[in-house]
Structure 1
Amino acid sequence: MTPPPTLTFIQPGHPLYAGELELRFRVLREPLGFTREQVTFPFEPQSLHLVAHQGDTVLGCVLFHPEDARGGRLYQMAVASHLQGQGLGARLVRGLEEALRGRGFTHVHLHARDTAIRFYERLGYTVYGEPYTEVGIPHRNMRKSLDT
């Protein structure tokens, strides 16, 4: 039996970072017609990057950008298509939340694609605000208190 993927915090420049970018491109951007150059954000060096990997192969990722001393935005959550629906995404989000609590963060918000709202609701996130379009597809804002 194959062991579960290892969760590791990385930063740009880490040997797994290229694999993270490729996964984000394949899962989140390529299906929408974006280029590889459109997968990165200017604030990535200041963000936390949690990747799930088996050896050198990145199978999942989730990022967090702090916006102040207590909170910030979860973004670029992606799991390899052949592993979606098997709990890896939830494991990544919970692992990130645990690390954020340990660093004193008390709340997280995110921009959820309509197709991901139920996933985040199962993890305790709630929808707020009006629907909107981002990267050409419907989204909703969601948030969660980490105090619980």
Structure 2
Amino acid sequence: MIAADFHLVPAHWPTDAEALRSVRDAVFIREQQIAPEDEWDDLDAASRHVLALAVDGCAIGCARLTPQRRIGRMAVLAGWRGHGVGMALLTHLIAEARALGWPEVHLSAQQHAIPFYARAGFVAHGETYLDADIPHRMMRLPLSPFETPAPRMPEPAPTVATLQADDLASLAAATLRLLRDARHGVTVYTRDLEPDLLEQAPILEALRVLAVRGRGTQLRLLVQNPGWALRGGHRLLPLIQRLPSMILLRQPIE
């Protein structure tokens, strides 16, 4: 049985083509017997991609958003299906499209996958048709734009302060102050997501409030040993999986 520990990362065709190809080759070409000439096209270089990675860094799923406002090439390795990977990929690309200000997105759904996309709000339209000898239907999802905040007077420049901590309690208090004072985002550099600190309920709630604040807000977690944190079932992981476009988990390169 696979433990459902994974995270999403934005991908770029020039640098991540090998990982993207590995998933799509396994799912579309070998499993579904789609011809390679039907799978690979010029849109890959122009599209926004997202990868789902397991704890060990192996690619387990992928999807893309094309300039034609179309979600496609959704693929999850067979052993990882049923663990929320596909919905996480789809949610990420929907958020990307909304951030771009697009009024709607489209996709071509294989007949058996229509209920999956319907759960995310997509509506089927048009007749069933064959693509690579597989029945498909077009689906669309209208997108509500992010709320535009009312104009306000410029805020005064922030003051710079050093927060000191001598023990876990004072460190937690300083962390809470930092998170609550943050306007647009926070970058956290940590060895292993510091469970004694970042799993505290008030800090988890402050992280959640910051992540969902609105457009332009982002929480970046630079973790030296993400594998240890993921295997340990850190309490922050469900929030990272629900908000992959707002919370970025990265491993710094030495």
The interval holding the TM-score normalised by the smaller chain is 0.7 to 0.9
Amino acid at match of 1:124: G
**Is the partner of 2:40 in helix, strand or coil?**
coil
Equivalent pair of 1:21/1:39 in contact (CA under 8 Å) = no
Runs of 5+ in structure 2 lacking a partner? 146-254
State the match for 2:12 in structure 1.
11
The superposition leaves residues 114-146 of structure 1 with CA deviations (integer Å, 9 ceiling, x where unpaired) of 110010011110000011011101111101012
The superposition leaves residues 26-49 of structure 1 with CA deviations (integer Å, 9 ceiling, x where unpaired) of 112223334556532111111010
State the match for 2:73 in structure 1.
76
| Larger proportion of helix | 2
The offset of 1:56, in angstroms, is 3.5
Q: Which structure is larger by alpha-carbon Rg, 1 or 2?
A: 2
The superposition leaves residues 20-76 of structure 1 with CA deviations (integer Å, 9 ceiling, x where unpaired) of 111111112223334556532111111010111134311111111022xxxx11110
State the match for 1:32 in structure 2.
32
Counterpart selection for 1:110 from 79, 102, 107: 107
CA distance in 2: counterparts of 1:3 and 1:111, whole angstroms: 27
Percent identity between the two aligned chains: 29
Q: What is the CA RMSD across the aligned residues, in angstroms? A: 2.0
CA distance in 1: counterparts of 2:34 and 2:133, whole angstroms: 11
**TM-score normalised by structure 1 residue count:** 0.87
User: Which piece of structure 1 moves more, 125-134 or 3-12?
Assistant: 3-12
The offset of 1:98, in angstroms, is 1.1
**Is the partner of 1:13 in helix, strand or coil?**
helix
